[in-house]
């Protein structure tokens, strides 16, 4: 995966179709990146904090497949088994788990309460606290061990840019307002305060991750697939809201690169270079699943139905964003699945 030569030549453009408008994001300089064969995870020890969910198990499987020794820290035992060890932690207090950080090569922090819920005041508080407190705790734990990891890869979110209706956001774009951007800023600030001075820190801001169910749920794609099979997978409201996305294989590769590539630091958008509108995303999903009809949903229907039947926040589907991974593209990163249909077909064909 990492021992190959990645080449991106000048004047190649990503063409994005949004409704009837054509947008282009162009690369204007030739870039050639060489990854030596020995730059891999073989023999590396990696701790994934908050790794018992859908994304954490996908990542643990990918890291172990590259030869790493993986340990998961989480409040509950992973529902799936694999080539990793597990230690219980509550994300709030120091304990025996702290020793797992001593002498490891990298720590990856994914910890945080799911946002796929009804946003009650208590849930909003938990979403914020679970991220900020666990991040600060990791920093405290790493200061308590003799050999702290030299690399800390921190999860954030592309939601930090808010919900601009049509603008394409890059790492240089202004941050948004509202709950999600506020949580993201606090999360990243906690990381900046907690990171050790000698550590290389990388903040990754993913969009919607499409992946397989490994016993911990398959992310939101599983719910969307079920809705689609019921004939309800049409456009929501106008359908023009952004649905930026990334295949699990690509996000795992980017996390691996963040661990091994010493030139990486700071914040990166982690998303396919070709985002879709919500309507186009669902149209493609229907095509892959072989469902000819997708009934549309008006805004008022979603505001009533999402909390009542799906027990989730209607704003997760009513709003969205178009994000472009400019820094990764500038670095010449090669996406395995830049286009949505091949990505969804891959997951559909290999679902567990």
In a domain, 202, yes or no: yes
Cα 337 to Cα 253: distance, rounded to the nearest angstrom: 12
Residues of the domain holding 154: 42-219+245-271+322-335
Indicate if the alpha-carbon torsion angle 170, 176, 181, 186 is positive or negative: positive
In a domain, 345, yes or no: no
* pLDDT digit string (tens) for the chain, length 352 residues: 333 333 333 334 444 434 333 344 444 333 333 344 334 899 999 999 999 999 999 999 999 999 999 999 999 988 888 999 999 999 999 999 999 999 999 999 999 988 877 888 999 999 999 999 999 999 999 999 999 999 999 999 999 999 998 899 999 999 999 999 999 999 999 999 999 999 999 999 999 999 987 765 567 888 899 889 999 999 999 999 999 999 999 999 999 999 999 999 999 999 999 999 999 999 999 999 999 999 999 888 888 887 787 777 777 787 899 999 999 999 999 999 999 999 999 999 986 4
In a domain, 305, yes or no: no
In a domain, 176, yes or no: yes
Domain count, the chain: 1
Model confidence, pTM: 0.88
CA distance to 55, 70, 71, 89, 138, per residue, from 103 (Å): 25, 13, 13, 19, 14
CATH number at 187 reads: 3.40.50.720
């Amino acid at each position: 995966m990492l021992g190959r030569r990645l080449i991106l030549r000048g004047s190649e453009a990503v063409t994005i179709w949004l409704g009837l408008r054509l947008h282009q994001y162009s690369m204007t300089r030739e870039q050639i990146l060489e990854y030596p064969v020995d730059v891999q995870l073989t023999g590396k020890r990696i701790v994934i904090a908050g790794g018992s969910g859908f994304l954490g198990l996908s990542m643990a499987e990918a890291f172990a497949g590259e030869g790493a020794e993986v340990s998961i820290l989480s409040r509950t035992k992973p529902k799936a088994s694999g080539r990793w060890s597990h230690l219980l932690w509550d994300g709030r207090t120091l304990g025996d788990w702290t020793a797992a950080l001593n002498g490891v090569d990298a720590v990856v922090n994914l910890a945080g309460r799911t946002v796929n819920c009804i946003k009650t005041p208590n849930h909003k508080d938990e979403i914020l606290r679970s991220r900020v407190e666990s991040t600060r705790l990791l920093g405290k734990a790493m200061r308590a061990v003799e050999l702290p990891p030299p690399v800390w890869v921190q999860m954030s979110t592309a939601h930090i840019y808010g919900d601009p209706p049509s603008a394409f956001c890059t790492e240089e774009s202004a941050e948004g307002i509202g709950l999600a951007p506020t949580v993201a800023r606090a999360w990243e600030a906690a990381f900046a305060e907690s990171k050790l001075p000698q550590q290389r820190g990388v903040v990754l801001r993913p969009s919607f991750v499409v992946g397989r169910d490994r016993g911990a749920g398959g992310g939101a794609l599983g719910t969307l697939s079920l809705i689609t099979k019921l004939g309800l997978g049409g456009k929501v409201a106008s359908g023009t809201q952004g649905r930026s996305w990334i295949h699990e294989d690509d996000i795992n590769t980017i996390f691996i690169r963040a661990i091994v590539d010493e030139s990486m630091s700071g914040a990166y958008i982690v998303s396919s270079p070709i985002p879709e509108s919500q309507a186009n995303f669902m149209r493609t999903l229907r095509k892959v699943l072989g469902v000819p009809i997708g009934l549309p949903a008006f805004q008022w229907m979603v505001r009533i139905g999402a909390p009542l039947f799906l027990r989730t926040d209607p704003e997760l589907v009513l709003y969205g964003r178009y994000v472009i991974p400019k820094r990764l593209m500038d670095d010449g990163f090669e996406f395995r699945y830049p286009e949505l249909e091949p990505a969804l077909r891959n997951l559909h064909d290999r679902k567990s």
